[in-house]
């Protein structure tokens, strides 16, 4: 749920009721750098095994598919501490052969209305995000935690 970028999507996010913060097959937990995990507080996170080590992701609220930090009003409790992967959504950087390209989640109701400034800012954040991890780790996260990427990979470039 991107309400913290320079260009907010809040007008779309309120009626949407935070679809992207309810984890499930298509939308998964953001992967966190150690620095992000430290800032957010590791008690509310879980460490999961990846091929090259263990990495932090956010827990779900008990017996639900809601991100631990999503409140009852469907707002993110983290605000200024939001993970990079939340800040760039619905845009994400992905590897394609030796290149990095950008894709959007077309299921996000705001995705058809992103303006140039939003796209520019989100791409910068998405690049920061992909560069934090080695390629295998990032790809493992996309493959196992971010289902919409698999679905979208052949679709629109932004
Ligand atoms: S899916 Fe899109 S419109 Fe809905 S809360 Fe997330 S960013 Fe906002
Ligand atoms: S950290 Fe905030 S923006 Fe990110 S998925 Fe959770 S509630 Fe949504």
Per-residue pLDDT of the chain (158 residues; tens, 9 = 90+): 655 555 678 889 989 999 899 866 556 688 999 999 999 999 889 999 999 999 999 988 887 888 999 999 999 999 899 999 999 999 999 998 889 999 999 889 999 999 999 999 999 999 999 999 999 999 999 988 887 887 776 555 54
CA of 19 to the centre of ligand 2 (A): 10
pTM assigned to the model? 0.89
Could you tell me the CA-to-CA distances from 5 to 1, 20, 38, 54 in Å, in that order?
A: 10, 15, 21, 29
In a domain, 21, yes or no: yes
The pLDDT score that the predictor gives to residue 10 is 85
For residue 36, being part of any structural domain is answered with: yes
- Ligand 1 mutation pick, 7, 8, 11, 13, max ligand atoms within 8 A of CB: 13
Domain count of the fold of the chain: 1
Beta partners for residue 77, in sequence order? none
Range of the domain at 95: 10-152
Question: Does some domain include residue 107?
Answer: yes
The number of the ligand nearest the C-alpha atom of 118 reads 1
- Structure confidence at residue 90 (pLDDT): 93
Do the Cβ atoms of 121 and 84 come closer than 8 Å? no
Specify the pLDDT at position 148.
82
Residue to probe by mutation, ligand 2, list 8, 13, 21, 73, most atoms within 8 Å of CB: 21
Would 3 be classed as within a structural domain? no
Is 158 contained in some domain?
A: no
CB atoms < 10 A from the CB of 131, how many? 11
Q: What is the pLDDT of residue 97?
A: 87
Specify if 157 maps to a domain: no
The answer to whether the CB of 113 falls within 8 A of the CB of 26 is: no
Tell me the DSSP string of 7-47.
Answer: S--HHHHHHHT-GGGB-SSSS-PPEE-HHHHHHH-GGGEEE
Q: Is the CB of 89 under 6 A from ligand 1?
A: yes
Q: Is residue 50 included in any domain, yes or no?
A: yes
Please name the residue that has the structure tokens 């631990």: 68
Distance 114 CA to ligand 2 centre (A): 19
Asked if residue 93 belongs to a domain, the reply is yes
Give the pLDDT of residue 115: 93
């Amino acid at each position: 749920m991107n309400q913290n970028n320079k260009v907010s999507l809040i007008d779309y996010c309120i009626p949407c009721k935070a679809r992207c913060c309810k984890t499930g097959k298509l939308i998964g937990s953001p992967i966190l750098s150690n620095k992000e995990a430290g800032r957010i507080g590791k008690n509310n996170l879980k460490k999961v095994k990846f091929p090259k080590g263990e990495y932090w992701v956010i827990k779900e609220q008990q017996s639900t598919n809601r991100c631990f930090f999503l409140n009852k009003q469907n707002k993110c409790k983290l605000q200024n501490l939001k993970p990079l992967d939340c800040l760039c959504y619905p845009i994400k950087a992905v590897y394609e052969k030796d290149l990095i390209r950008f894709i959007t989640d077309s299921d996000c109701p705001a995705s058809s209305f992103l303006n140039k400034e939003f796209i520019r800012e989100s791409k910068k954040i998405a690049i920061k995000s992909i560069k934090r991890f080695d390629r295998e780790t990032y790809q493992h996260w996309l493959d196992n935690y971010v289902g919409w990427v698999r679905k979208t990979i052949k679709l629109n470039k932004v």
